[in-house]
Amino acid sequence: MNVAAAGPAREMHELPAHSSQPLREDQCWALLGNRPIGRLAVIGADGGPDIFPVNTLVHDGKIYFRSGGGAKMREVAADDRVAFEMDGAEPPWRWSVVIRGTARRLDRDDEIEASGVLGLATLSPSPKNDFCVVTPVQVSGRRFRTDFPEPAERSEVYGRGSDL
């Protein structure tokens, strides 16, 4: 998906280089539906954050993923509060979408089948027989212009001696 398509074309061209802009919720969902891998942040057993890459499916305003048993599933069972992040690039833009919500293991066959998660491919060779859903509480996103000046022009933008 072209990120420019997620908002009015005129708006995109008027945003100056080196700036960022919040995304509307519908833009966030459009971007999420196009990418197969995101990151799930959970509260670990020690109370600190843990982050796991997950193959995802967006369906009916929710995020679905498959998982094998292990720390991720134990941590979701112990505390269902999660965050999910996905990012991407469509020059001259980079974007990031963050969802805060709750996660739970799907236990009913009809719910698993209706979600479409059974058809979700995984990159890991290990069995993925647990199916989970993230239900959003908050959806936010930002896009950033990345058409930075060439190195020779940077000193004019950042000042002499800048190595950015």
The domains of the chain are located at: 20-157
Tell the CATH superfamily of the 20-157 domain: Electron Transport, Fmn-binding Protein; Chain A (2.30.110.10)
Are β-strands 62-67 and 20-22 bridged in parallel, bridged antiparallel, or unpaired?
A: unpaired
Spatial CB neighbours of 36, under 8 Å, sequence gap ≥ 6 = 55, 56, 121
Each residue's pLDDT tens digit, 128-156: 889 999 999 999 999 988 876 655 554 45
Q: What is the pTM of this model?
A: 0.78
Each residue's pLDDT tens digit, 35-91: 889 999 999 999 999 999 999 999 999 999 999 888 999 999 999 999 999 999 888
